[in-house]
């Protein structure tokens, strides 16, 4: 499973002493009402914890320090209930090393014209306080998120929820550890890059292992373990024996079962949550890991083929952000160029993520033309429909660059009886010609991560948090 430790967000409400104790008690009560309502709404993926009102510099500085060292706190949401002089926010805001959301809201939705007086105005002056506070965040170049609107509205809550997922992924980015079984595929350019810089900028640890290190784990898997896991497959998938005898088919699938057990054990022993393989480096392996990799992607491990550690780490990052819903490693394969039907067929030689499947996948065995190994088992399915984003990361020597293209995936209507891999089809925005051209022109790779669960805005929020150059094609 996708194991993310429990996260929470601290809600810090700004005010000042000027208004007196009675007003501050009311501010606090209203902040508590909002906190409780948001936590009970079911709209947010993580809980909000209301902290003491922020009314002086020392207190703000101390709470931000505490946010930094508490691993369970993924970020801070601030609300300027009244006017909170922003010089007192400077030190704490500068020290804050976690994502910040400025919620520009107000306790009451409408102005009560029948009863409004100066007491009400002084107590409910978010519009005033938002500008004072926002100025300091802008001047400090904080790259914080700003969500505007009445806190009770579902649209506002949706924006908070999406940002929370970005913030959780930002925190988890520093825990991403990629195990590479073998190096990059020989001669390929786009999958290479500066691993040290990636660790400095994104927090990713990328470690190399010889395939023999994994083979030792494979050889240690017990037959009983293979029996037990193979039995679980029967409930999850259709079994398609194709041209193979049941015995030959099962023998092939059982090799992949042993790979699933071994790779998972290897990764978990070393604290790795993403990995790469390379079909050129399979010494001691009977098959290229296919079904095994698909199963592990389904469980939330990041993956990319041919030693592509950047995409494997990005896959893990976006799986955390999306709660592993409809998000996975992908490769641009074949164009559909007929007028009005333009699309790109997405797949990989085996390893297509089953979180993108529109229905129950089938397990098939088929020869693999490359890699010079036995016929590997794999999951075959059609991808689901939906709007989403496709993202690739390239190393341009002086900086990393993220490409984001908005896409519309659709379910294929024509069968492909001779295609022994899963397939995903999508149209790119703004249209095929301009979208594809912009992707190529900007150096976007053929290895990507697609998500039908995330938005461009979320990817941009992450990119800003880590100072990552990005280009949006939409």
**344 closest CA partner among 452, 453, 432:** 432
Nearer to Mn ion, 147 or 449 (CB): 449
Strands across the sheet containing 8-14: 48-50, 8-14, 73-80, 100-104, 145-148
Shortest Å, Cβ 361 to Mn ion: 20
Shortest Å, Cβ 124 to Mn ion: 56
Shortest Å, Cβ 146 to Mn ion: 39
Residue 169 CA from chain centroid, whole number: 6
Shortest Å, Cβ 308 to Mn ion: 7
Query: Using CB under 5 A, which residues numbered 324 to 353 contact Mn ion?
Result: 331
Nearer to Mn ion, 130 or 306 (CB): 306
Length of the chain: 474
Strand spans (E) along 246-369: 274-276, 302-304, 327-336, 343-347, 362-365
Shortest Å, Cβ 421 to Mn ion: 12
Nearer to Mn ion, 338 or 370 (CB): 370
CA distance 148 to 146: 6
Shortest Å, Cβ 309 to Mn ion: 13
Nearer to Mn ion, 307 or 388 (CB): 307
CA distance 227 to 233: 10
Q: Are strands 469-473 and 400-410 parallel, antiparallel or unpaired?
A: parallel
Give the x-and-dash track for 291-310 against Mn ion (CB under 5 A).
Answer: --------------xx----
Query: Using CB under 5 A, which residues numbered 99 to 138 contact Mn ion?
Result: none
Nearer to Mn ion, 161 or 188 (CB): 188
Nearer to Mn ion, 189 or 200 (CB): 189
HSE, CB side, 13 Å, CA atoms: give it for residue 324: 18
Number of residues engaging Mn ion in binding (CB under 5 A): 3
On whether the CB atoms of residues 214 and 180 are closer than 8 A, the answer is no
Structural element, H or E, at residue 16:
none
On whether the CB atoms of residues 7 and 171 are closer than 8 A, the answer is yes
* Residue 444 interacts with Mn ion (CB under 5 A): yes or no: no
Q: Give residues with Cβ within 8 angstroms of 42, minimum separation 6.
A: none
Site for Mn ion, rule CB under 5 A? 305-306, 331
């Amino acid at each position: 499973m996708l194991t993310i430790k429990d996260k929470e967000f601290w809600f810090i409400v700004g005010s000042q002493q000027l208004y007196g104790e009675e007003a501050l008690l009311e501010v606090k009560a209203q902040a508590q009402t909002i906190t409780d309502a948001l936590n009970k709404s079911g709209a947010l993926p993580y809980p909000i914890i209301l902290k003491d009102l922020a009314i002086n510099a020392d207190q703000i500085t101390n709470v931000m320090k505490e946010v930094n060292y508490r691993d369970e706190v993924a970020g801070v949401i601030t609300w300027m209930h009244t006017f909170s002089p922003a010089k007192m926010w400077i030190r704490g805001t500068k020290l804050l090393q976690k994502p910040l959301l400025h919620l520009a809201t107000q306790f009451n939705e409408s102005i009560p014209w029948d009863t409004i007086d100066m007491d009400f105005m002084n107590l409910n002056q978010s519009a005033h306080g938002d500008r004072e506070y926002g100025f300091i965040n802008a001047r400090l170049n904080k790259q914080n998120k700003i969500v505007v609107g009445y806190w009770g509205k579902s649209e506002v809550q949706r924006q908070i929820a999406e940002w929370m997922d970005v913030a959780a992924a930002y925190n988890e980015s520093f825990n991403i550890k990629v195990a590479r079984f073998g190096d990059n595929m020989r001669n390929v350019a786009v999958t290479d890059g500066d691993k040290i810089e990636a660790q400095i900028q994104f927090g990713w640890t990328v470690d190399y292992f010889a395939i023999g290190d994994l083979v030792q784990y494979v050889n240690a898997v017990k037959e009983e373990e293979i029996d037990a896991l193979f039995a679980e497959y029967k409930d999850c998938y259709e079994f398609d024996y194709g041209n193979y005898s049941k015995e030959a088919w099962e023998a092939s699938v059982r090799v992949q079962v042993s790979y699933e057990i071994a790779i998972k054990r290897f990764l978990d022993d070393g604290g790795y949550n993403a990995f790469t393989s390379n079909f050129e480096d399979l010494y001691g392996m009977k098959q290229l890991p296919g079904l095994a990799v698909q199963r592990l992607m389904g469980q939330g491990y990041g993956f990319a083929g041919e030693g592509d550690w950047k995409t494997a780490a990005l896959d893990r990052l976006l799986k955390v952000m999306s709660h592993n819903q409809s998000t996975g490693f992908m490769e641009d394969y074949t164009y559909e160029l007929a007028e009005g039907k333009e699309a790109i067929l997405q797949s990989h030689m085996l390893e297509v993520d089953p979180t993108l499947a529109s229905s129950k996948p089938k397990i098939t065995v088929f020869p693999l033309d490359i890699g010079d190994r036995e016929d590997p088992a794999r999951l075959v399915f059609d991808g689901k429909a939906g709007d989403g984003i496709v993202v690739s990361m390239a190393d341009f020597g002086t900086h990393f660059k993220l490409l984001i293209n908005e896409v519309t995936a659709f379910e294929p209507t024509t069968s492909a009886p001779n295609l022994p891999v899963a397939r995903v089809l999508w149209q790119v925005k703004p249209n095929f010609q301009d979208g594809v051209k912009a992707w190529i022109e900007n150096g976007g790779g053929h290895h990507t991560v697609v998500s039908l669960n995330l938005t461009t805005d979320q990817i941009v929020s992450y990119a800003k948090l880590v100072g990552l150059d990005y280009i949006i094609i939409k």
